[in-house]
Structure 1
Amino acid sequence: MENVLDNYRQLLARVDGLCAGIQDALAEQITCSEGCSDCCTSITVFPVEAAALKQALADQTEEQQTAIRDHVTEHAGGERCPLLRDRRCLLYRARPIICRTHGLPILFTEGDAQRLDCCPLNLASRESLSGSSIIDLDRLNSVLVAVNSLYLRQIEAPPDFPQRLTIAQALLSGT
């Protein structure tokens, strides 16, 4: 049987490619960089994202796993992401899609209108953007929902399986 996270990992690779292209195209206008954690708030994730985080944790040494679990336990329930330590993500390579796209220009539907948004620190002097420099968040979320749905079928999740989990639930529970 194929790994149940393969589709999600393929999506991550495409999202990372998209984000890298946007960052290259807008390099001088993007202030987000390593250590920038202003957008790192406590979020919920889809079960497929939770499984990827849990797998990334399992790939760490026992000592690292314990340290990460202890940190997440101590910071669960706060406004900031419990994976943040010293303004850096403890499982950065496995961060969810929303974390990968934070700060970049996104287009999404709000009510009956489309809205363009990005980190207020980015694109300060830019007057216009090409379509290839904008993430269509509605489309990306639709694909993520489909990948999550397939994942839930593959693991034969029961009907009462959680639809969203906090980072702490993802890393500390048996789900």
Structure 2
Amino acid sequence: MKWIVRALGGLLVLLALVELATDRSDPPNPPIEHTFEEPIAFPFEITQRYSEIDIEKPHHMHQFVFNYVNEETAQELRYIVHKVVDEPEDMEDISSYGDQYILADGTSAFYDETESTSQGLWWINKDGFTARIIYYIDGNSVELDDETRLPVQQLINLANQTL
């Protein structure tokens, strides 16, 4: 009986050593590498720029936010690009955001002014990211009027710089 227990023990040790020595590849981890063109000509002077990257769930959604601010006038622009990477064929229907415009490369963009404190232009870029440019004043707290609202063409010009 002792020899059976020793044989089984030896077999377990041998199996454990084989398991440790087996070279298994790590689960696939695709590189998170994206290149975006940013706007360079703005409808107001930029005094502060900063970026945010949200890749909390690397295999699900990537979001990049480029912020452009004039601290004196409190005007702000955000250029946001995001992509759901594990469901690329299920693109968001951005046409519900408003009036359609055509960008320089023929891409459809949609103008959104559903809130009185911001304006936005949405489109799907050539890499399948949903892109948008949002304009607002003082942290989205000032109601836009005829004097503070940007012409839609200025938002389109900003978007064209990212193509």
TM-score normalised to the size of structure 2? 0.26
Give the structure with the higher percent strand.
Answer: 2
Query: Could you say which structure has the higher helix fraction?
Result: 1
Rg larger for: 2
